[in-house]
Amino acid sequence: MKFVVTGGRGFIGSHFVELLLGNGHQVIDIDKMTYAAFDELPWDNNKNYKLIVEDISNITHLPPCDVVVNFAAESHVDNSIESPKEFFKSNSKGVFNLLELIRGKVYERPLFVQISTDEVYGDIRDASFKEESVLNPGNPYSASKASAEMFVLSYNKTYGINYLITRSSNNYGLRQYNEKLIPKIISSLKENKKIPLHGDGSYIRDWIYVKDNVEAIYHLIINNYKNSTFNIGANNHLTNLEVVKIISSWFDIVDYQNYINFVPNRLGQDIRYSINFNKLLETNFNFKFNNKNNLYKFIK
């Protein structure tokens, strides 16, 4: 199969590209190469890989392909609070532009896969959100992702564009940019610096190893699921303090509390994210790396 992947030089996108190439697919990667993109990756000279440096909100042409998978996005919540316009441009307008380019294709329109987030639901104190739950984003980042989803659904109903939406929980793993919690903890411990934690560290997230996430996305595409939305979670709910404790243990640090610097909450702080992903499990998807109530140790 021939894939167009947007944002394939970033964290999650690069793992998906790696998976595609490992399974013999052709990949055209469209990436505007922001601060979080990788200049060099091991597959740059692979004959099945091509990089196009462009911004999805500005491109005027989509190469012929079977599937378009959109990872391209601004994703750091703190940055969205400081510069919401940039998030609207990339995450909402960018998706609109991709959909318009697909709409313009008269023959053999590709499947459009929108990579979304559990943050579109907002936070929940008990229970877990299902795919049909009402979206209630609590910051400019999640609002821009929810807006993109609405465009996808409307273009399916109005123009017949086939789609797949995945909403994944918090990813972690190799190649994650240092602004995110887990790489920030790792770099802080390595450099003997204090780890910044919002509030009192009690905020809860569901952590999924990035390779499990991209395997789930690939599984849904290859098995021809379309015109549907899937939550991708791990049922691995940890407070930020628990995350610090686990990662500190990788460095044989017991007194992890002494390495923490509690900082003020971000505006609109969400308390707990949790999604029900039984719909994914019903497709016979199997996790390879998930450690319930722990984190897969990916560093040596």
Write out the catalytic residue numbers.
118-119, 141
CA 24 to chain centre: 23
Fill in the amino acid letter for 292: K
What proportions of the chain, in percent to the nearest 5, are helix, strand and coil?
A: 35, 20, 45
Tell which residue, 208, 231, 224, has the closest CA to residue 287.
Answer: 208
- d(C-alpha 228, C-alpha 167), whole Å: 11
Is the Cβ–Cβ distance between 4 and 68 less than 8 Å?
A: yes
Residues in Cβ contact with 247 at an 8 Å cutoff, skipping those fewer than 6 apart: 182, 185, 186, 189, 295
CB 166 within 8 A of CB 220: yes
